[in-house]
Amino acid sequence: MSGFLSRVGALPVLGVGVSTEYGAAAAPGALDIAGLRAVAPHNAAFLEVGVEVAKGLDADARAWAASGRPATYHFLDLNLDEPEDQDAAWLDGVRALAGALGAAWICGDAGLWHMGPRDRAHMMLLPPILEPDAAAAMGAGVQALRAATGLEVLPENPPGAVFVGRMHLLDWFARLCEAGDTGMLLDAAHLAIFQRSRGHAARTGLDGFPLERVVELHIAGGVERVGPGGFGYVEDTHAVDVLPETWEIVEAVVAGAPNLRAVVFECERNRVEETLPVFARIHALLRGHPLLGRGAA
């Protein structure tokens, strides 16, 4: 048994939650997280906070932290495969902010958040190169961050219109999880985008993937676009229109992931009433699952 599979039992069960990042709640038409908790607290049992250390936590994140309710820390400023990104000042900031949130774990897209030296507000986010060497480098970064913070670090599969490399995304993440001795955050919407980009069916690769590594699951809406030259792609909009392929992936993961601890509906750009039908479907899919025990924590 790997170290992670012996550690995962100690992770808390968080339930169903939502995500935010600095300033997101102040945007026109944004999700009112307090309003969501008021009408449907079981839909906001925890908050995933997207963090750039240079910005810190906004007032909404600080208020959530002050309430003592569960939270997770989602980095927005780290290339896991670049050791120089985990410098002393950045790590001090991560430890302080994760401590302020009482973060259950750290997670974040295992891709390219910046090109060249890290600078505030880069947030370009490109997918990883789907080759074995890249997975090994990311795995080393996961292990380093876990050692530096004392928290589990769950890499997430990023979105992308184009993916470079020979491996299937799920095979690559299986290799990353092994190299990093870790679990992962599987984003069903991002995986659906990848499957479309490669001409695969929604569940391609899931039958051979170690679903026991999935600790957190993301669900989000996407919009089909047509770019120059008729290039078709799916934009990861975080809207309420969830693709059928995304739901198909969610169903498979919920049924097969014994260590699933948290589900996030990424809907920060939508009004509360618009999100409720999607949350209802999520809860229907999770009926009887242990993670619903978090309820209205």
pLDDT at 1 over 60: no
Secondary structure (3-state) at 17: strand
39 DSSP 8-state letter: H
State residue 297's pLDDT score.
44
**Which DSSP letter does residue 211 get?**
G
- Judge whether residue 231 has pLDDT over 90: no
CA 59/CA 237 separation, integer angstroms: 24
Average pLDDT value for residue range 241-266: 97
Provide the whole-model pTM.
0.95
What structural domains and CATH numbers belong to the chain? 13-287 (3.20.20.150)
Q: What is the pLDDT of residues 120-145, one digit of tens each?
A: 666 788 999 999 999 999 999 999 99
15 DSSP β-pair partners: 262
The count of residues in the chain is 297
